[in-house]
Each structure stands twice: as structure tokens, then as C-alpha cells.
Structure 1
Amino acid sequence: MMWRRLLLLPLLAFAGSCASLPDQTSWPNPAQPFVIAANPLAAAAGMEILQQGGSALDAAIAVEAMLSLVEPQSSGLAGGAFLTYYDSASRGVTVYDGRETAPSQASPTMFMGSDGKPLPFGEAVVSGRATGVPGVIAMLAEAHREHGRLAWRDLFGSAERTAREGFIVSPRLERMIAGRFPQNRTPDVQAYFARPGGGLMKAGDRLRNPAYAQFLARLAAHGPSAFYAGSTAAQIVHKSRQAPLGGSMTLADMAAYRPIKREALCGPYRVYIACVPPPPSSGVGLLMLLGMLERTDIAQRGPSDPQAWFLFAEASRLMYADRDRYVGDPAFVSVPVAGMLAPPYLEERARLIGATVMQPPEAGRPAGAPATAADRTREIAGTTHFIVGDRAGNVVSMTATVESIFGTGRMVDGMFLNNQLTDFAFAPTDEVGRPQANAVAPGKRPRSSMTPLILMDRDRRFAGAIGSAGGNAILAYVAKSLVAAIDWGLPMQEALAAPNLVARGSNFNGEVNKFSPTMLAALKAKGIELKPGQGEDSGVHAVIIRSGQVDGGHDPRREGRVLVGS
């Protein structure tokens, strides 16, 4: 592909300039196995598989099966995912795209009302039209065929047992159950979380899911066909076609779903090579942001310097302007990836950062940019990220989602159906007829902010991994954490705990209470007045190899766990 050829020269130049690379030669071989996930039960399920001799991919399946049960507000087996895989033998990085697809009968105007205006978002997210054909199971199955070590049937025991016996509702899950989200008013959500004595589940209650346990038993025995055909597929189709605003999914759509194996999109950052999923993921935006920041003096500053946060905010706004305008499913739209990452273009964009806040930036004109409309997509935070490394040195960095909290709020076999199609732009064109890059089309994959990242050193040895939840804020969450860990040298746990700041368009959102009054005043003097961000917060999980050891971190805003084996 052209963008890959164009990126080759910058990478070759970068490879010769990495004289100060941190020492990694003492990383043990076999490597230290590790699991980092947003829930302790999920991390334990993955480590159990690793201790049985399973591969990183085997363990990833166990982790996601458990997260579907214990963190249903964020991801599930009826959702989608991107998986970035590091192969220690070849030192190569591969992306598995399990993003949901629009049904074959989907319409570009299916999220438009009878008045010709976009549907209210609160109506769309609980509609049958919101559910895309799920991709995570098919994606995991394809990756397992290539990188699995244990039998498929042996990977679901922990999640099945926990679903049958029940698990203790966590404070975070209680907060989501009690939240004022449209999904929480749906019959399935109300029924699933109902307490025997009345009311809804609270922290400390035991929640059982026998329907999910039965489904996992069938999935283990029969493979992906237990999901994409038969009773489960029929129920998904039926549930998604129910009112209000029933969708058009068919059994043929379920049977036709195929994951896509893609080449990773890789670019330099400091002494590392950063590899992310290509479109329809927004990994190109993350590489853009890192590339612009590398052209500033942010690395010579630190977390207590207002100018560092100012630079981060302005570079973020420039990146989002381009990402929002141009990124979509490359099977349907031309995405100017090479142009967006060309060094002269990054220089041009970085030079727009002045002494004070600029007006909301317009998208630039990178080489190959098509004439598209300004983006109007809304992306709600309802996602999870986890990382698994095995003794052979293979690593999975995976981000999965059902879109917003509890997906559509509709449940089949103990799983919430995704509302991923609301990640499309609701209107296919703007006022003058220019097309939206992220408009709905049959079989199309909606644009995603999920960017599971792998870091390599100049010799293509594994050097780290990172990813996050958070809707469109994922790009800012991940970039902030990388800057804090790499540029500012913070231990990974401290890097993830550093305040979040998300700047997009005219909005500056952040964890206001985590910045000092002095910092807030200094940012305000530059034109940045922070306001509280979105309710689900970040969910960054990351690892970096320092002096041959695993330095892993979990986002303290969630209930994560870092487990490192011997």
C-alpha cells in the first residue's frame, strides 16, 4: 500500500538515530508472562491460561470472555474489537480487525428521522438499528487458529464457572447500573440487574448469569458457529429487529461476517517504533499527535509545567480536526494516511501552535485528502482494553467494546448487544452535499477510536504496549500516558494516574480536580478553561520494558489489576 511505502524512509532514518535506547537486553528468555486488565477476575482468568502453558492469544480469549460477564457496561462477546499482536519469533506486528459491520440492508439515512433531521442520540443508542453484526468472536477465532496453543474448548472454563456460580458486583458496576443512561431504562437491563427483594443490584450483591454460562459451554464445544448460526444468531437478529426503531440485520448477515487481518500502521516516536491499527481505527490520529508533540519541547518539560499541557492540548485539537474529517472504513472511503503522517505535513501542523489558544482548528489538507464534510459523529465511552504477554515473548494488545453503557440495553444469552452503528455519522452529507467519510453504508465498518498499540525498539524487539477505553478521548488518554511514561520518565502506574486532558474543537475537558489551582490559572491565562469530562473516564492499561523488567500499570479510575508471573 502507498502509505506503507511512503512511511518506509522516515522509519529507516529513525532506525539509525536511536543511540540512547533504554537497555532491554536483560529481559528474561523465556519472558515474564503478564496480564493487565480492567477487572481482577479477568486478569486472573488470563493468568490461569498462561500458567497452563497457553499463549498470549489463548489468554486473551479467556480475558475477554470474563470481561463480557463482569464488565458488561464496557465490552462483550456480542460486540467488536481490534487486536494488535506482536510475534516474538518474527518480530512482526499484525492487526486483527473485529469491528462490527452494518447489515446488508443498512441505509445511509437510517439514523435520520421523518423530519429529515438526525435522530436524538438517546433514542438511537437503544434502537435495534444501532446493533452491528458482532465481530469479536470471529476475530478471536481467526487469531487463535494462527497463534493459539491450547484447544479452543479449554479457554472458557473460568468465565463459565463464574457465570454459573456468580460474582460480586463491584462499586464501579453499581455506579453504571445506577447511572442515568438511556439503556438503564430498558426491560432487559432492569430484569438482569433486579435484586430478589426489589430494586437494582448494589456493590456486594452476587450476580449470576446462567444463560451466559450455557452459551459459553456451547461456544467452547462448537466454536464460532455457536454464535453466528443457530439459536443465538436467530435471537440476535430477532432482538435487533424489535421496536423501537427495529434494524435490518438478517441471519445471512451473521453468517457472512468475516474479520480482517491487516498490516499494522507503524511510525517513530522518540527511540521507539509505535504500531497501531490502520483505518477504520483512528491509530493514524494517534501517530499524528505523537508526531506533532515530538516537534515541540514537551519532553524537556514535565507534568507540573503548564506549557507542557498547553502544547498537548493544542496538538490534540489539530489531530482531532484531521482525524474527524478524514478517517473512515478504507473499503469505502479514501483515507490520506500517508499524507497525514508525512514529516513536512506534521511540521506544518505543529507550527500552528502559538503562545495562546488558537481558534477551533480546521482540518488540514494532507496529500491525497478527499473533499469530505466536517464530521458530526458522536462517540460514547463504553470500552475496555487489556494486554497479555506470554513466556515466548508474544504480546496481545486488545481493545474491545459494545459502544456505550450496556450497548443497546438488549440482551441475548446473557450478553448485551452492541450499539456500535451509532459510531457512524447520522447524516450522510453536510448542508452543501459533501459526503461524510464516516457515513453509514451496507457492510461498512464504523470509524473507531480504539487504538491498541505495540511499542518496539530499533531492533523490533517488544518494548511496550498500551490502549484505553473512552470513546473519542482514547487518543488523548493514550498519548498523555505515553508522554508521561516516555518523555517525563514517570513509572507507568504514575503515568496512567496523571490527570487527563482532552482538547477537541472548542472543548477543553479534563479532570479538573486533579490539576492544582495554580495550573488551572496558568492554563486559563493561555485560553484553556478546563471543564469536567465524560462520565466513564479513561481505562488505560499499559506496559513498558525498563531495564529488562515489566513495568505495568492499570488505570486507577477503574478496578484493574496487573499480574506478572515468574
Structure 2
Amino acid sequence: MLPKRALSLTGLLLAPMVSWGFSYETPSITPEVGSGFEEKPGWAADSFAVAAANPLATDAGYQVLKAGGNAIDAAVAVQMVLTLVEPQSSGIGGGAFLMHFDGADVQAYDGRETAPAAVTGELFMEDGEPLPFMEAVASGLSVGVPGTLRMLEQAHAEHGQLAWQELFTPAITLAEEGFAVSQRLHTSLANDEDLRENDLAQAFYYSADGEPLEVGTTLKNPALAAILRRIAEEGSAAFYEGEVAEDLVEQVQSHPVRPGKISLDDISGYQSLEREPLCTPWQQWEVCGFPPPSSGHLTIMQILGMLDQQPLLEAPLENGVTSSGWLHQFLEASRLAFADRGRYIADPDFVEAPGGDWSLMLAPDYLGKRSELIGEESMGESAEPGNPGELTVSFASQPEQPEYGTSHISIVDADGNAIAMTTTIEQAFGSRILADGGTDLPGGYLLNNELTDFSFAPEVDGQPVANRVEPGKRPRSSMSPTLVFDQETGALVASLGSPGGAAIIHYTARTLAAMRDWGLNAQEALSLPHAITLGGDVYLEEGRFPEEIIESLRERGHSVSERELTSGLQAIRRLEDGTLFGGADPRREGVVMGE
């Protein structure tokens, strides 16, 4: 498959689309029980499938495909419903990366948020020191210019089958009629103190005495319904101009503690981009992922490329969990890949790739040299970045910062078109600013805190950090929407991705290895226990690994602890007989639907 040339579109006119008389039926879906880990069976389909993080969102995409829509149409409908039912993870107030396959070409649509024109590198510095992370997050400072809507409009204008306005029907209907609050939304509300500080959010999501909405409560969102109805009728201009944009600016600039910098010009001037996807041969597969400003594909393929050059210490799987030998090599490769990530990867419109070409970071000879650094003992925090190519500017490594949030959508339609879309507002509930679009109605949508994905410190020891804050810049991301192809035939093999902050990289890399090398189906691969490191301590998914594996890693020099690692993987795999099999992460409430 050949990626299309990069281009930029702003204020794209809504192209005339075929209308199939899409009629949305409100589904009878009750919230799943409990948070935590719940085994899922996986789902088979003959011709099309949708995987998303909430059953109502999955159903919206399913109904669009049943009505004759394609993968892009379904993605629009799914995202609008997620804005309503999973507000803590993504929405129209955030950004997204979309990989699209039309049967011949792969495209990468960039809807990442941008920094306002008025920011400086000192945005998150106070008295010469970085702000505490959560103080920066829950503020107006953290809000970037949202990109999801303009990106989806661009992709739909190029590929959509159903009319744009029809795709908003599920979300508008559910917002007006109400939906049942899920366990995950209830738990997220209960665990968040900062959201209560926002007057609109407190009044909408909590009782008068501060208690979160109970599971099963019917929640209507009149403000979001009104906003989506305008966007459906007028296109994305209804969001980027006029009352909705004015309200966004007012909410950010009037934050009571730390007001932000967004202006109306920032919003109206936002451009979604089409970038050149990165497609990397990996034995019998070709893995296509998002280029910078995402660090996802480069870091995933560095890890997998180094692992392919490692001797097999022992069988990768032992009694349904990854073995200590495989985990040791995986974690050490992660340390080396994250060292490169922290030094080199940022918005390519502001930062040059090493040697002028990002693919040099994936060159087999370079990865071979990096792989030789993996020994029998852990290197701990001593992993250093390599030198894949000369730079015109010498960058400092970015200090470690938290990353959070996000949701993933995978869709394959009956014509063989496919999307992998990872979408985010960053932290749970983003900046904790609820915007009602100037409607003065209850509810609305949440604004992102995506600017906290930039390095808080603009330089280290006098050297600039590649991912520092700059006007108009897109913050580095870990989002990893991935499409996989058979290298010999070019046929689609899989669509997958996950939320999880920087751990998205580990979740997606391990899933790829499990599907390609270990004989696991999509659901089995997603259900495996997680292990991550960002270069320091190792975190294992709590309660999922036998004590002997934990002790074996410690004996190899890893500092190991257990914690909840709540991924939200979705994957759809095309089988050899042409049918589909999809998996949804057992740690979240997503499902797969198809026929």
C-alpha cells in the first residue's frame, strides 16, 4: 500500500454525501458491573466489526455500518457518543490521531491539539521551578486548541459515505433521552476531587452534597445535544467560530486560579493535517502507525526490533503469562527505546528528525547496536539515548512526567476499509473545565489538558528539550493507532490500539508480539497481564503475575512493584478465511459488534 502525500485543509466544505436514510434505534444496553478485570469472550464477524470503549458507542458505529456507512462514518458516530458517555477519556474538546486504509492507501490524519500563540516555554514554570503536575492539569494553562472535530470533518469529506449530519443522530438522541451512568463513569467521578471545583461540572455530575451520580442514573446532556446539533447542521465551523468558540475562550481565560492563553484566533485558525504514515516491515507483517508528534509507532517498533535481535531465553508464555526471560528483554528494550523517545521525538514542524529521517531510528543496524546493550542484568535507570543520526541542534532528554487518559476505536467495514483511531482529552476529565457552548443548559463537554504533555522544563543544563512548549506546536503523544498488513500480499491483518498514557506503547507492542508470534487470538492477546517501565521502576499488573516471575525479575536487577494498569485495548484481526475476530480489553467496559 502507498501512503498518500501530506496535505493540510482548513475550513473544509462539507462535500455532498449519499444519504441512506439512517434511522437510529436507541439500544437496550445496561452498564457493565464493576470496574477491574472481567473476562471477555472475543467476538467473531463475517464482514464488518466495530470495537470501542463503551457499548453505546460501539452500537452507534454498528448501526452506521448496517445503514450503509463506512469505517470513517462509523468513527464519527462513535466519537460523538464517547463524548457523551465516556467524558473522562475523550471528546470534541480534545484531539485524536486517525489511521485510515481505503483498500489501497494508508493515511494518517493528525487532529492533535496545538499550543496557543501567546504561550512561552515558561508556561508551566513558576519561580524557576516546574509547577506540581496536578496544579498545571486542573487549570486554564493546560488547555490546547481542540482538533478532533476538524480532523474528522477532513477525513469524512474525503471518504464519508453517509451525510455528515446523520452521523450525529446517535449522540444527539442519547444526550436528549438520557443514558445510564456506567460503573466506570461513576468510579471516575467518585475518585476525582478536582472536577468538583468546576461549578458547571459539580452541578452536572454530582449531587448537592457532592456525591457522584450513581450507577444506572439516567443522565441527559441538553447542552451537548444543542452543540452537536449545530455541528451536525453547520459543520465544524459551528465549534471553531461563534458562540461555542467564544464560550471556550471565556472558560479558559476566566479560570479562577490559573487562566489560560487561548484566543478566538487560535481556535478559528486550527488546521488538521494529513501526515505521511510510518510503515515498518516486521518479519511477515508491515506495521503502519502514526509519525511524530506521536512517539508511539517509533518507540513500539524500536522495542520490537530490538527484541527480534535478542536470543530467546525461554518460551515467551508460561501458564498464560509472559515469562520472566521474555519480560526482562522486553523491559530492557523499553528502557533503551524510551531513552531515545525522551531525547528526539517531538512535533516535526518544530524539531528535525535525527539525520533528517525518522526511519533512521528503526534502521536494523542501529537497533542491532542498541540490542547489544541488553544483558543478563537490568541496566536500571542508566539507559542512555543512542545516536541514530546527526542533529542540527543538540537536545536534552526530557525529564519524566505523567501521561494519562484516552480511548481507542478500531473499525473494519464490509468493503475492507479500516480505521484505527486513538482519541483523548489527556487526564481523566481533562482540565476539569466543563464548557456548555454558551447554551446556558445543563451539561456540555470537557476541555483537554493536553499542553501538560509538553515538557514543563523548556531546557535542561542549558540545552533545549525537543518537546518544550512553543506557540502553535503540537505536544508529543504516546497514542499508537496501528494498522497491520501482510507484507507479501498487502492485505489488512489487524487494527488495534489502546489508551494508557506512555504505557500505550507497552500495551500495543506486547499485543502485536502476542498475535504474531505466540498464536493468540485478539482477545487472548489483549487479556495478557501487563508489564511496563519508562526507564526506572518496573510496574507489573497487580495480582496477575506469579511470585516466582516477580522474584526472577528482581534477581535480574529490576526494581519491581505491582499496581493497577488499566489499559483499554481494542483489536480487530482478519483471519485467514477472511472473517474477523475482535477483542475488547477486560479492564474496561468496551465491546465488539459486527456481522
Q: TM-score, normalised by structure 1?
A: 0.91
Summarize deviations over 1:492-532 as a string: whole Å, max 9, x none. 11111101111121121120310011211222211224223
Q: Structure 1 pair 288/449, CA: closer, same or farther in 2 (3 Å)? A: same
What is the rounded CA distance, in whole Å, between the counterparts of 2:260 and 2:137 in structure 1? Answer: 12
* Partner amino acid, structure 2, of 1:334: E
Q: 2:478 aligns with which of 449, 456, 459?
A: 449
- 2:446 and 2:155 map into 1 onto residues whose CA distance is 23
User: In the TM superposition, what is the alpha-carbon distance from 1:159 to its structure 2 partner?
Assistant: 0.7
- Residue 24 of structure 2 is matched in structure 1 by none
Q: Distance in 2 between matches of 1:553 and 1:40?
A: 13
Deviations 1:95-121 (A, max 9, x none): 0000000011111111111x1111111
The structural deviation recorded for 1:300 is: 6.9
Q: Following the alignment from structure 1 to structure 2, what is the Cα–Cα distance between the partners of residues 164 and 496?
A: 34
Establish whether residue 312 from structure 1 lines up as the match of residue 330 from structure 2: yes
Aligned partners of 2:203 and 2:399: how far apart in 1?
34
Q: Tell me the equivalent position of 2:274.
A: 261
Specify the alignment match of 2:11 in structure 1. none
After TM superposition, give the deviation of residue 155 of structure 1 in Å: 0.2
Q: CA contact under 8 A between 2:202 and 2:210: conserved in structure 1?
A: no
Give the whole-Å Cα distance in 2 for the aligned partners of 1:196 and 1:391: 48
Which one of 341, 346, 356 corresponds to residue 323 of structure 1?
Answer: 341
Question: Which residue number in structure 1 is paired with residue 566 of structure 2?
Answer: 537
The equivalent of 1:120 in structure 2 is 132
The residue number in structure 1 matching 2:148 is 136
Shift of 1:449: 0.4
CA distance in 2, matches of 1:144, 1:297: 46
Does residue 179 (structure 1) correspond to residue 191 (structure 2)? The answer is yes
- Report the Cα distance in structure 1 between the residues aligned to 2:368 and 2:550, rounded to whole angstroms: 28
Closer, same or farther: CA 371–539 of 1 in aligned 2, 3 Å: same
2:434 to 401, 411, 425: 411
CA distance in 1, matches of 2:591, 2:380: 41
CA offsets, 1:477-503, max 9 Å, x none? Answer: 101111122111112111111011111
Q: What's the offset of the Cα at 1:199?
A: 2.2
Equivalent residue letter for 1:317? R
State the Cα deviation string for residues 186-236 of structure 1 (Å, max 9, x = none). 333322212378622121212111111111111111110110001000000
Tell me what 2:421 maps to. Answer: 398
Q: Deviations over 1:404-431 (max 9, x none)?
A: 010111111210000100100011111x
Q: Distance in 2 between matches of 1:406 and 1:191?
A: 15
Which aligned pairs between 1:45-444 and structure 2 lie closer than 5 A?
A: 45-88=60-103, 90=104, 92-113=105-126, 115-195=127-207, 199-243=211-255, 244-282=257-295, 283-297=297-311, 301-304=315-318, 305-336=323-354, 337-360=358-381, 361-369=383-391, 370-376=393-399, 378-413=401-436, 414-430=444-460, 432-444=461-473
Shift of 1:461: 1.3
Give, in whole Å, the separation in 1 of the partners of 2:413 and 2:468: 39
Work out whether residues 382 and 536 of structure 1, in 8 Å CA contact, stay in contact via their aligned partners in 2. no
2: CA distance, partners of 1:55 / 1:332: 35
- Superposed CA deviations along residues 66-120 of structure 1, whole A, max 9, x for unmatched, are 00111111001110000000111x2x2110000000011111111111x111111
Q: Distance in 2 between matches of 1:401 and 1:127?
A: 17
Match of 1:489 in 2: 519
**RMSD in angstroms over aligned alpha carbons?**
1.8
Give the AA of the match of 2:324.
Answer: P
CA distance 1:256–1:198, shift in 2 (3 Å): closer
Cα displacement string for residues 338-364 of structure 1 (whole angstroms, at most 9, x for unaligned residues): 321111110001111111111320111
Instruction: Tell me if structure 2 keeps the 8 A contact 1:80–1:98.
Output: yes
Shift in Å at residue 179 of structure 1?
Answer: 0.8
Q: Is the 8 A contact 1:269 1:294 kept in 2?
A: no
Query: Could you list the runs of 5+ residues in structure 2 that have no partner in the other structure?
Result: 5-43, 437-443
Q: Residue 300 and residue 488 in structure 1: after superposition, are their counterparts in 2 closer, same or farther (change >3 A)?
A: farther
Q: Structure 2: which amino acid aligns with 1:441?
A: E
Measured in 2, the distance between the counterparts of 1:410 and 1:316 equals 35
Moved more, 275-284 or 193-202: 193-202
Task: Kindly state the Cα deviation for residue 397 of structure 1 after the two structures are TM-superposed.
Answer: 0.3
CA distance in 1, matches of 2:83, 2:226: 14
Alignment check: 8 A CA contact 1:298 1:487 kept: no
Equivalent residue letter for 1:315: A
Which secondary structure state, in structure 2, belongs to the residue aligned with residue 66 of structure 1? helix
Question: Are the equivalent residues in 2 in contact too, given 1:510–1:531 (CA < 8 A)?
Answer: yes
Structure 1 unaligned runs (5+)? Answer: 5-27
SS in 1 for 2:88: coil
The answer on whether the counterparts of 1:31 and 1:390 sit within 8 Å (CA) in structure 2 is: no
SS at 1:373 equivalent: coil
Deviation at 1:181, TM superposition (A): 5.0
Distance 1:153 1:145 in 2: 12
Give 3-state SS (helix, strand or coil) of 1:153's partner: helix
| 1:495-514 correspondence to structure 2 within 5 Å | 495-514=525-544
The reply to whether residue 465 of structure 1 matches residue 488 of structure 2 is: no
Q: Is the 8 Å Cα contact of residues 409 and 421 (structure 2) preserved in structure 1?
A: yes
Q: Which SS does the other structure have where 1:365 is aligned?
A: coil
Distance in 1 between the 2:308 and 2:424 partners? 30
The answer on whether the counterparts of 1:280 and 1:327 sit within 8 Å (CA) in structure 2 is yes
Q: Name the amino acid aligned to 2:406.
A: T
Q: Is the 8 A contact 2:139 2:432 kept in 1?
A: no
Measure how far apart 1:163 and its partner are.
0.8
Matches of residues 524-563 of structure 1 in structure 2 within 5 Å?
Answer: 524-533=554-563, 537-547=566-576, 548-563=578-593
For residues 48-75 of structure 1, give each alpha carbon's deviation from its aligned partner in whole angstroms, at most 9, with x where no partner exists: 1001100100000000000011111100
The alignment partner of 1:133 has SS state of coil
Is the 1:188–1:409 Cα contact (8 Å) retained in structure 2? Answer: no
SS in 2 for 1:477: helix
Query: Residue type of the partner of 1:411?
Result: L
Q: Is the 8 A contact 1:97 1:261 kept in 2?
A: yes
CA contact (8 A) 2:90 2:407 kept: yes
User: Which amino acid in structure 1 is aligned with residue 517 of structure 2?
Assistant: D
Asked if structure 1 preserves the Cα contact closer than 8 Å seen for 2:54 and 2:589, the reply is: yes
Letter in structure 1 aligned against 2:316: G
Change (3 A) 1:184 1:324: farther
2:56 to 18, 22, 41: 41
CA distance 1:536–1:188, shift in 2 (3 Å):
farther
Quote how far apart the aligned CAs of 1:297 are. 4.2
Give yes or no for contact 1:387–1:397 (8 Å, CA) kept in 2: yes
Matched-pair contact (CA < 8 Å) for 1:298–1:311: no
Q: Structure 1 159/265 Cα, relative in aligned 2: closer, same or farther at 3 Å?
A: same
Segment of structure 1 superposing worse, 141-150 or 292-301: 292-301
Figure out how many residues of one structure are paired with residues of the other and give that number.
533
The separation in 2 between residues aligned to 1:543 and 1:75, in whole angstroms, is: 21
Distance (whole Å) between structure 2 residues aligned to residue 497 and residue 391 of structure 1 = 27
Query: Partner residue of 2:545?
Result: 515
> Which amino acid in 1 is paired with 2:279?
C
- Aligned residue for 2:59, secondary structure, equals helix
Aligned identity (percent) is 43
Residue 317 of structure 2: SS of its match in structure 1? Answer: coil
Name whichever of 129-138 and 549-558 sits farther off.
549-558
Other structure's SS at 2:473 match:
coil
